[in-house]
Amino acid sequence: MSDPKVEKEAGSTEPAQTPAPEPEKKKREYKDFGHDDDEKATHAKVDMDQIQLKAEDLYDKEKVDLETIVVDDVFKLLQCDDNGLTDEEAARRLELFGPNKLESEEQNPFLQFLSFMWNPLSWVMEAAALVAIALSNGEHRPPDWEDFVGIVLLLFINSAIGFYEERNAGNAVKALMDSLAPKAKVKRAGQWREIESAQLVPGDMVSFKIGDIVPADCRLTEAINVSIDQAALTGESLPQSKKLGDQCFSGSTCKQGEAEGVVISTGPNTFFGRAANLVGQDDDTTGHLQKILAQIGSFCLVVIGIFVIAEIFCLYAGFRYSYRRGLDNILVLLIGGIPIAMPTVLSVTLAVGAQQLAKYKAIVTRITAIEELAAVTILCSDKTGTLTTNKLTIDRDTIRTYGPFSAEDVILLAAYASRTENQDAIDQCVVGAVGDPARARAGIKLLDFKPFNPVDKRTEITYREESSGKLKRVTKGMTGIIIELCTRNKTEELENRLEADVEEFATRGLRALAVAYEEVDGEDPEGEGNGFELIGLLAIFDPPRDDTKQTIDDALALGVKVKMVTGDQLAIAKETGRRLGLGDHMYPAKVLKDGPEPGSRFKTLDEMILDADGFAGVFPEHKYEIVKRLQALGHLCAMTGDGANDAPALSRANVGIAVEGATDAARSAADIVLTEPGLSTIVHAIRGSRIIFQRMRNYAIYACAVTIRIVVCFAILAFAFKFDFPPFMVLIIALLNDGTIMTLSVDRVLPSNTPDSWDLAEIFAYAVAYGLYLTLSTIALVAVAIRTTWFFDAFGVRLHDGATQALDHNDPQLHTVVYLQVAIISQALIFVTRSHGFFFMERPSVALFAAFCLAQLVSSIIAAYGNWGFTNIEAVSGGWIGIVWIWDIVWFFPLDLIKFAMKATIIKYLRARHEAALAQETAHTGVPMTRTQSRAASIHESLYSNRVSFLRRAARKVGFGQKISMKPEELQRFSSIQAARTGSVLARHPSRPNA
């Protein structure tokens, strides 16, 4: 029997029959995409009446050849027949195998909330709270309740904001659970009925027809001209014909015919369910943002730790401070130095960015993916349905004609020989090529129509032409079949030309469809014609989307290299690449296993993968491997796709993007889901993500600088002047800072034209420079106030009890002055870190500027009226407030000069050193590296991972441990293994007693 997968494809590998008297005439072989021969089914070599098979028996190929087991043996293994199961047996099996859906584990909301307090930055703040309430006793003073309440409030505010954003992110597994067909037609106790597909069990008899989604993995027991679209599973453009005994998989779509089958696997054990398991396999990775948070957090903790230890030795051992006095100084460093709001500020920035991306019809399901999208250097794109329309089309530019008919005439005649209702993919594209489907029957009267069948591999129409009244006949189908029918005008020259054309189509990845024509004498539609004449050869292909080429050009302009990774064949991939300007340096998937050929210009497989424009004939594990290797080389990868077969790579990629019309499996695995056709939205998303990245980078520099500024400043003041700043006022500074910095999420910034990356050496260098400079501004103020009477002499301002200078180094009014000076200039630093040039050349957002003004108003009011005895501050005069403002303004302007000096010296040196290291690495390995980092996780980084990965937590009962393989020749073996495993479960729980 001919291969059922071949449907209306030109170029059969079967040679045309030549007359016996002419042995010298060469055999014609119209080369198209080859197909393997069918294997004959075999029986299990066991007594099938003894149904209690052991698991080892089921996998003994001497007894049960799992690759070719016949459907009758499947019925026996599953203890069922074609009348279906009884309701009682179905209920029993539902308990045994579970529902036909993917299960997931919901996370406890309370634990999710607490998770935002479980990272090293929060631990330090929690330790500070414990110090304030538990260790601050003694010396006849009560616990430090004010600081304790303030710290806890700060922690809860940050956690509440983060929790709110996390809950809005949604559960990625939900789409997977809902992706199975919601209803199924099933036979129970001999009666057909419709039930929820979740109630299906192995052994059920199911039925589906054109347009239905296959509800579970099954083996067909009846098949009437069945064609199944498995593009979502295998990436194949054309639907696959199915015959009796073939397998159909959950989630595929019936495009033609009607079928009945016996369910062999449900829920997590299905082909689809195993793909979902591969999606959730990535337990060895952590988010890129968490890696950055970990390193920034480490920097801050090291700085704080150094100065806390220094204070312990200096204040207690050197100055002989009392217990509580030294503890208050240490609390200042712990509270003021920790950028406790950093995870929350970045989360809010990303969440606001996600809302902005939604305006471009891009739904973000994992908000930290936005930061990673900004750094993406390689975009791995699926072809079918992503770069292309996943809709077969006639390529008008390559139509070949062989008779008196024009190319448009050939298309019209081919449309005559096509169905206008209940069309398969070929008929649909041919009729669509004439524009108005009504033209396929206009001006003719249909007398007889023979639809496509797997044996004849062609369609045929006999019709009366209304204008002339003549009977005519048109047929279209596989080239080898059609040319054999032709008797009129068939010459050696014509056959040579046809063979060359078909071979050219095949090398370009175009599928050939031959069209022939004859006139019928008389009035009998069944009568003989005057002989078919070959009139044309149509080229069928899956065309690129209209906006794909522009999108790829835009991506390249943004510094993102695009690679095609498709399950389709190499010739098709190359042709698509040429049409899109993507290039045709594409390789078959086998190179991923075999490596570069000996003597090729590539030394290693990694070098080959980097150079390639794409890979063809790949399966899920190949896509997964490509992404994994690129990440290991230091690239951040985005992967686009639309089918369940793309889901593993979508999950593994730093950013998975499901295009419009994607299956729910792809959407659930993706980080960004597009709701408009085409890839143009990706360019908007990349630009938007780079804007968001700039906001986060600005904050990171600011947060690290403030840590340096607070810790170094107050430690030096304690060492030099025995200055004891109140811990509660540092808490007030932190609260006001956090409130202002939240508005960075809507700040105005310019995106980069190249992929962004976290160069932490640059960030820390800027932070140290700014932090030390601001430290100097405060120390200078305190030194002038303590050592001189300059402020009194110049401005007439006094301190506590009318003092003209701070002879008491812990004068409560001096505390207030220092508080105001630190609060103002620390927040003003954000205007320097957010700009690339002078701060006044880049206008901030209204929200940021308004928040800054409000915070400084509050700080000034506290300075003017804050007589808080519990925290040792006292209100100061308006003169002092004015002095502090002028002081800060004078010290603020040189900050831009420091920024420019850093760029010209240290930053320039760091970049030159990095480029030298990069060149050395490239020379050593031959593989160019990028500035981005891989996603290898560490325990330390995972402590910052507040994003909940629902996919990794999903509880799936998977049938096998090995990776999924979707090679077409292995599909039957896979379904047989499913049936065998189901049989082994039933063998342990038989429905009938032993004989």
Helix locations, 213-279, DSSP H: 231-234, 271-279
| Cβ atoms within 10 Å of 581's Cβ, excluding its own | 13
Residue 831 tokens, joined: 């205007």
Helix (H) or strand (E) run with residue 818 in it: helix 812-833
Residues with Cβ < 8 Å from 445, sequence gap 6 or more? 463, 464, 466
Residues with Cβ < 8 Å from 929, sequence gap 6 or more? 633, 634, 918, 921, 922
Residue 658 tokens, joined: 């499901």
Helix locations, 208-338, DSSP H: 231-234, 271-279, 288-311, 323-337
Q: Find the length of the chain.
A: 995
Long-range contacts from 387-390, C-beta under 8 angstroms, 24+ separation: 387/544, 387/545, 387/548, 387/564, 387/576, 387/580, 387/679, 388/542, 388/543, 388/544, 388/545, 388/548, 388/576, 389/542, 389/543, 389/544, 389/545, 390/231, 390/237, 390/542, 390/642, 390/661
674 beta partners: 362
| Cβ atoms within 10 Å of 703's Cβ, excluding its own | 25
Q: What's 9's DSSP letter?
A: -
Radius of gyration of the CA atoms of the chain, in A: 37
Strand, coil or helix: what is 308?
helix
60 catalytic per annotation? no
Q: Are 607 and 574 in contact (CB under 8 A)?
A: no
Cα Dmax for the chain:
128
* Residue entry with tokens 């002095």: 883
HSE value, Cβ hemisphere, 13 Å, CA-based, for 994: 5
* Residue entry with tokens 């976290």: 758
Catalytic residue among 65, 246, 382, 738: 382
Q: Are 51 and 990 in contact (CB under 8 A)?
A: yes
Could you give the residue numbers annotated as active site? 382
